[in-house]
Amino acid sequence: MHFFGRTLLASAVAMTAFTAAAAPDDAAIKAKLGGLGLVPNSITPSPLAGLNEVVTDRGIMYVSDDGSYFIAGHLYKNDGAKPVNLTEQKMAKLNKDKLKGLESEMIVYPAKDEKYVVTVFTDTSCGYCRKLHNEMKAYNDAGITIRYLAFPRGGERSRNFSEMSAIWGAKDMAKAMDDAKNGHFDPSDIPQRPDVVRKHYQLGVAMGVSGTPAMILEDGTMLPGYQPAPMLRKMLDSRNDNS
């Protein structure tokens, strides 16, 4: 057998051995990601051989069977007219489940003729969050109920962490939020709820929130950034028509 043939045969044997031996090593994956400060909540095979879908406390990653390699990004399925974002689909389902039971901790601005409900991670120091809040009537008039969760962008290091803790500790949280977004909130003598704000922030991080405002639709899909009321309503109608 000439050199090329021997090389090809050796490669085939090596690939066969690798394929036969390849299997997710959950302990190794957990150990490797643990070294990065990530906690895997689930490890399942991905559509790509040799890569596993790992749901962590900071989103979804795709990790090799031995944990030595990982991809942080979105996985698309490309077999039709439009690529399907598989990562976004999975995150939407996870996000929807994570929001269950949190309604009592949300600051809600209900639409009189409600058609849609959008949950928003907000920060009182964020300019676009204030812009969204100042247009609350437009969202409500468009049939969109807005529900707030707290997301001080720097976590507990944020300068407004105590302010947001006081908002969630106020008897009238909606009024406190109104005042804070307009720069007239006095947090003195208001019992603070840092536990709630910390919980919301950690939830946002787990859901992949990296900035504010971050809008979560009813199916769990995330829309990063500010969306004007007319544009948001049009997009929601379009999604509803296509569902």
Output the pTM of the full model.
0.83
Counting Cα atoms < 13 Å in the Cβ hemisphere of 16 gives: 6
- Catalytic residue selected from 130, 153, 193, 233: 153
**The two three-digit tokens of residue 193, written as one number:** 């709820």
Would you give the distance in Å from CA 98 to the centre of its chain?
A: 10
What is the arithmetic mean of pLDDT over 4-25?
46
pLDDT digits (tens, 9 = 90+) for 109-162: 999 999 999 999 999 999 999 999 999 999 999 999 999 999 999 999 999 999
What is the percentage of the chain residues whose pLDDT exceeds 70?
Answer: 91
Residue 66 falls in the annotated catalytic set: no
Residue 153 falls in the annotated catalytic set: yes
Residue 147 falls in the annotated catalytic set: no
Residues 70 and 34: their CA atoms lie apart, in Å, by 13
Give the helix/strand (H/E) hosting 179: helix 173-181
Strands 76-77 and 70-71, by their bridges, are: unpaired
Residue 129 falls in the annotated catalytic set: yes
5: exposed, middle or buried (Cβ count in 10 Å: 0-12, 13-18, 19+): exposed
